[in-house]
Amino acid sequence: MKNFQSLEKTATQSSNHWKIFAIAAAFVISAVAVAAEPAAQPPKFSGPLKRVGSVEVDAATKTVVATGFVEQVFGLLDYLAVGVNGKRYESLLTLELNPMDLQTALLLCGAKAGEPMSARDSGPPSGSPVKMWVAWKTNGTELVVPAESLIWDHAENKPVPTDWTFTGSVVRDGHFGASDEECFVAVRWDPYAIVNISNGLGKTYGDVYVNTNAVPASNTAVRVFFQAR
């Protein structure tokens, strides 16, 4: 003879099953919503860019465009971008530009520098926020990614979620620091750099590495977008 559960027990179990299902469904929906949330999109230009020396500017989107190539594809970084005569062995990218043009163009786009940092690793940097993207072509198709997706938090073993800060390069003893050092974008806080990483990782040496899972091959031609906010 079969042993039947009471109606009350069956109803309770059924209710519990539905609760578990509802919680799981809510979790899935939440996860999908997070995954579907669009990342910050690069600016879309509606007309021709205006040249400011060695860079180009789109006034409508407050964006400066520079060109260069991939330098380092693995290892420790002090910079995201330097010039052709800068510390390329410490930089992810090399950009072919006059640093005064980059700083001038960002100022024209509304960027404002904050209080200058007194020395290397001293901060945090202050100034206007900047969004940055890096673009390159793969098999004829252009890929555009946030600049921060190309760097890696070595201690935490994960990507570095960050914004960037227009600090403006300092002038000392009559010399424009970014021209002397050809340092453009620092991932280790540097008063000579024009743009600095906003994340606190910038205050110490040895925390930021190349994200080898995301960076294209060495010498790949790139465009870098700097958007003043």
Q: Which of 170, 180, 217, 223 is nearest to 85 (CA)?
A: 180
Containing 50, the helix (H) or strand (E) segment is strand 50-52
pLDDT of residue 16: 44
Q: Is 49 helix (H, G, I), strand (E, B) or coil?
A: coil
DSSP H helical segments within 37-112, as ranges? 99-108
Query: Residue by residue, what is the 3-state secondary structure of 123-182?
Result: CCCCEEEEEEEEEEEECCEEEEEEHHHHEEECCCCEECCCCEEECCCCEECCEEHHHHHC
Q: Which of 85, 83, 104 is nearest to 185 (CA)?
A: 83
pLDDT of residue 119: 85
Question: Which tens digits make up the pLDDT trace of 47-64?
Answer: 899 999 999 999 999 999
CA distance 11 to 155: 51
Positions in the chain short of pLDDT 50: 1-39
Bond before 124 cis per omega within 30 degrees: yes
Question: Which tens digits make up the pLDDT trace of 124-163?
Answer: 999 999 999 999 999 999 999 999 999 999 999 999 999 9
pTM for the whole thing? 0.81
Q: Which amino acid is at 21?
A: F
pLDDT of residue 40: 61
Strand partners, 33: none
Q: Which residue carries 């403006």 as its tokens?
A: 168
Q: Is 201 helix (H, G, I), strand (E, B) or coil?
A: helix
